[in-house]
Amino acid sequence: MPTLEDLGATLWNQLVAMIPGVIAAVIWIILGVIVGIIVGGIVTKILRKYVERPLSATPFGKTLATMGLEFSELIGGLTKAFIISVSLVAAISYIPLGGEVGELIYSVVSYLPYLIGGIAVITLGLVLAISLARYIGSLLSTGFSETYKSLVALIENLLLVGLIAIVLTVAFTLLKLPSTLIYPLLVGVTAIAIGVIIVIEVFKAITEAHPDFSKLAPFLQFIIVFVFVFVGLSAIFSEYSVVGDVLRSLSFGVMIAFAVILIPVAFYLVKKVLIEAERRPSKGE
């Protein structure tokens, strides 16, 4: 049976053996902090000089301003945090930590670069998505007349939704989030957003070209948006068969109810529109 002196000697030897690793870890952390502060400051200054002012005029920049954040400081801070987190990953590898506590510390420190990288991808990706969508929209608007203004807005919004979906997919993959939870959510939300945008822009163009259609448009808009919402919800809950069955049954029931209620209303409105359209030429005469 080991004596108290033997245990003390063993503990001392372990501490002495850890000293070089601790020194190396401290050096890595100090270097990471210094490099992170320098690089983060450079990134902040560059973005503040060339990006901050034009970005502040966009909805994304205004949203950051309402939260008390500056884009340049946010990206500079994320850059500094990313470099420091990488140095922490390198530093922790020099310190032999055993047991469940050691595994927990290793896993948390190792995940930090992915977390910061995912946040940076979302932030930068949203800025690039908004900028690219607006740039393409401005190019299209110069090539089309005012008649196709709604079509240009539709293309721009659809492109923006698609780019944001791509950015979020890349960010969530980098964050190592379970794909079975994230991808159905992205598909469902994207389907709902695309459906709402299409309905708004298409019906806006139709009502501008045919004012008589404006009385019937709200009812049709509601039905089509409702369909897209159900499609999106079905995609979101596609991994849960019970919820999917309930949504399908509910959708059939709701659509039948809407058909029973709205078909007479639609006939009445169509008849009214046709009567008004027939009366107009006679007034001109």
Q: For 267-280, what is each residue's pLDDT tens digit?
A: 766 676 677 666 66
274: exposed, middle or buried (C-beta count within 10 Å: 0-12, 13-18, 19+)? exposed
- Confirm whether 11 is domain-assigned: yes
Of 184, 202, 175, 170, nearest in space to 241 by CA? 184
Check residue 285 and give its pLDDT. Answer: 47
- Confirm whether 40 is domain-assigned: yes
User: Do 232 and 184 form a contact (C-beta atoms < 8 A)?
Assistant: no
- Confirm whether 80 is domain-assigned: yes
Check residue 184 and give its pLDDT. Answer: 83
Angular region, 144: left φ>0, alpha ψ -120 to 50, beta rest? beta
Check residue 130 and give its pLDDT. Answer: 83
User: Do 129 and 164 form a contact (C-beta atoms < 8 A)?
Assistant: yes
- Confirm whether 179 is domain-assigned: no
Check residue 54 and give its pLDDT. Answer: 79
Give the CA distances from residue 222 to residues 24, 199, 227, 228, 273, in Å, rounded to whole numbers and listed in that order. Answer: 64, 9, 9, 10, 19
Check residue 80 and give its pLDDT. Answer: 93
- Confirm whether 126 is domain-assigned: no
Question: How many folded domains does the chain comprise?
Answer: 1
Check residue 145 and give its pLDDT. Answer: 67
Spatial CB neighbours of 244, under 8 Å, sequence gap ≥ 6: 234, 237, 238
CA dihedral 255, 258, 264, 267 (to 10 degrees): -70
Check residue 133 and give its pLDDT. Answer: 84
Q: For 113-127, what is each residue's pLDDT tens digit?
A: 999 989 889 888 888
Q: Which domain holds residue 3?
A: 1-96
- Confirm whether 37 is domain-assigned: yes
- Does this model's pTM top 0.85? My answer is no
Check residue 221 and give its pLDDT. Answer: 78
Angular region, 70: left φ>0, alpha ψ -120 to 50, beta rest? beta
- Confirm whether 90 is domain-assigned: yes
Check residue 283 and give its pLDDT. Answer: 45
Check residue 246 and give its pLDDT. Answer: 65
Residues of the chain with pLDDT under 50: 282-285
- Confirm whether 238 is domain-assigned: no
